[in-house]
Amino acid sequence: MFSAESAPGHLHNKILNAPDLPEVLEPYWFAYGQLTGSRDFSDCVPVSEVLSWCQMFDIQNHDDRAFLLKFTTELNAELCDYKEVVRKREEALNKIKVGT
């Protein structure tokens, strides 16, 4: 029923083969980690929270702010894609359970 990559408990190849995070991106990853608690009902970190975070840490450079927003938005999209895969997996498992 499941491909090897979508089986419950299996780590996806993207995770297993993930490259090390370039040192230049570490501050953005740290910021994303802090911002994840600000998710709203749509599972996204609101733009206003990213901008507030930048103000709180006195990040004035427009390019740094724009990159953090892009970084956060793209990671949010990946998270939403992952959650959709999990939802479909659970839906399929529930159909199997009901069928038995």
Which DSSP string corresponds to 12-65?
PHHHHTPPPPPGGGHHHHHHHHHHGGG--TTSS--HHHHHHHHHHTT---HHHH
Q: What's the pLDDT tens digit per position in 25-47?
A: 888 888 888 888 887 777 788 88
* Least trusted range by pLDDT, from 2-16, 21-35, 39-53: 2-16
Banded pLDDT at 1 (limits 50, 70, 90):
very low
**Across 69-98, average pLDDT:** 88
DSSP code at position 8 = T
pLDDT exceeds cutoff 90 at 64: yes
